[in-house]
Amino acid sequence: MFKVKRSALFLGLIVVGISMLLWAGWHNLRERKLAMQRAQQNRVELIPDKVAQSGQSTVEGEEPQLRGKAAPGFALTSLEGKKVSLSDYKGRPVLVNFWATWCGPCKVEMPWFEEFRKQYAGQGFEILGLADDVDAGKDVIAKVAHKTGVSYPILLTDGKVQTAYGGLEVLPMSFYVDKNGVVVEVTAGLGTKDEIEANIKKTIASGSSAGTPAKQVAAGGQ
């Protein structure tokens, strides 16, 4: 009799314990759902006012896993018809920027890039602008590039380079490649001018012990 009572008590304790576990799980789920809803509401509300303050696009998780890895190589044709490879710039910090003629945010940052290119030319810094929409035609791409005032090489993409850089579901998309050919930073969407400059400085500083910059600059270039 005592044994049966003890068993019933034991079972009761187990049921209570499991019930508490389930309740805790349900409560946790509910709290997380509410938190997600609040986060979602905040995200939508922030959009009109935070435009130029954040380089993050609305779609998260678009950046390919290239940070810290070797930048995929490419050999593309420039607007002038010249073959340009990423390997031509070995030993120099390079910003690989994907853009398109129909992309408003892209055209906002391009003049900033031009400014920084001149400012950091002494450190061998270069920019390669890769036009994503080659179907727009070379003339249109050249016209838009000219309008933004850029003088750095504009290259016509071949479809393969977009795939190599993660598919590019967002524009603008920038890959900051250091002297050693390693992707130091990846950004999707328009960032602030300060953020872009910080990334350029970081890229120039990265791998600086790899060699003598002056010598590398002389060896690089188109």
Partner 1 sequence: MRFGVVLAGLILGSGTLVAQMGSLDAPAAKPKQYVSFAAEPQTLKAGAKSVVELNFRVMDGFHVNSHTPKSELLIPTAVTMKPVDGVKVGAMEYPAGTSYSFSFDPSEKLDVYSGAFTVKLPVVAEAGQHTVDGVLKYQACDHAACYPPKSLPVQVVFTAK
Residues near partner 1 (CB under 8 A) are 7, 10-11, 14, 18, 21-22, 25-26, 28-29, 32-33, 36, 43-44, 47-52, 54-62, 100-106, 108, 132, 136, 140, 144, 168-172, 188-190
CA-CA distance, 154 to 20, in Å (whole number)? 63
Q: What is the DSSP letter of 92?
A: S
Sheet containing 126-131: order of strands: 83-85, 75-78, 154-156, 126-131, 94-99, 173-177, 183-188
CB-nearer residue toward partner 1: 105 or 213: 105
CA-CA distance, 33 to 40, in Å (whole number)? 10
In our burial notation (b when 16+ CB lie closer than 10 A, e otherwise), range 165-194 reads: bbebebbbbbbbbbbbbbbbbbbbbbbeee
CB-nearer residue toward partner 1: 84 or 188: 188
CB-nearer residue toward partner 1: 108 or 164: 108
Beta carbon of residue 145, minimum distance to partner 1 (angstroms, whole number): 12
CB-nearer residue toward partner 1: 52 or 70: 52
CA-CA distance, 63 to 42, in Å (whole number)? 22
Beta carbon of residue 58, minimum distance to partner 1 (angstroms, whole number): 4
Beta carbon of residue 95, minimum distance to partner 1 (angstroms, whole number): 17
Beta carbon of residue 52, minimum distance to partner 1 (angstroms, whole number): 4
Beta carbon of residue 122, minimum distance to partner 1 (angstroms, whole number): 29
In the beta sheet, which residues pair with residue 99? Answer: 131
CB-nearer residue toward partner 1: 60 or 81: 60
